[in-house]
A and B are shown apart, each in its own frame.
Chain A
Amino acid sequence: MSRLTAVLTYRGREGMVAWAFHRISGIGIFAFIVLHVVDIYLIGGNPELYDEVLAFYASVPGRLLEVVLGAALLYHALNGLRIIIIDLWPRMTVYHRALWWATWVIFIVVGVPGALIILRPIWLQFLRDVGLA
């Protein structure tokens, strides 16, 4: 427990959650990028295998993972911009809490419709099954 706390502790407490999420999302995106560069290489090397990989992207588990990836990407992008704003303009530190909440407002406002678009084959099928579409 103390070790986990140590791993996830930023100096002091301010911004600790922001920092921990930034690091976790960054490592997750990194893992995907390694896979993604290799899968793009297949277009030239093995197009049939590429089509199979993309068929997974279009499947239900694939789409759920894409929502997770998109959430990680959006959070990392918004929080990264917040960090850069504070770095370049130290007076914004006064408003760091407001910036933190703004990050989450934008995350929800952009992220929820985005997730609905990615998952639309799933909920469209559900609506059809219950006779609403």
Chain B
Amino acid sequence: MQVTPYSRARARPVGSRRRELYVWYLMRVTGVALFVLALAHFSILHFIWDPAEQTAEFVLEQRWNQIFWRGFDWLLLMSVLFHGFLGVRTVVLDYINRPRLRTGVLWSLYALAVFLLIVGTEVILTLPVPGGE
């Protein structure tokens, strides 16, 4: 593996490559969203509820019995997938310089992101609401 003398900083991209600028902004917008969503999610499920109380039944009856929390978790899923995968993309671009390997790793990464998006969205949308109409 060839390593650059120093990694590229995430300075605000300049020049004609608009795509990198959009990625840069998207990282910051999803970052702020995650500051609220991810920290709230972690606090609720570790400080208010204890992992010992959390079974599949608990999630159905205490967490996802309300549209609000399904919507909350779906927003969290979207933010974390964009933020996490664009973040790892930056790491891949920093460290993997062989063109074919880089392309292969990036496409595997995007495939994993799409898979998690489908799986995560499916479980949020299709899990039955107990006692729901």
Contacts and interface: CB of A to CB of B under 8 A. Distances in A.
Given A41-B123, A51-B55, A77 B35 contact: yes
A7 B126 contact: no
Contact of A51 (B4, B31, B56): B56
A44 interface: yes
Interface string A1-25: 0010011011100000001000100
B87 A54 contact: no
Chain B interface main SS type? helix
B59 A43 contact: yes
Q: Is the interface on chain A under 10, 10 to 19, 20 to 34, or 35 or more residues?
A: 35 or more
B61 to A, nearest CB: 11
A77 B57 CA distance: 31
Interface of B: 3-7, 9-10, 12, 28, 31-32, 34-35, 38-39, 42-43, 46-47, 50-52, 54-57, 59-60, 77, 80-81, 84, 87-88, 91, 95, 112, 116, 119-120, 122-123, 126-127
Given A47-B57, A74-B39, A80-B31, 15 more contacts: A11-B7, A26-B84, A26-B91, A38-B116, A41-B122, A43-B56, A44-B122, A44-B127, A47-B55, A50-B56, A54-B54, A58-B54, A73-B38, A83-B10, A117-B47
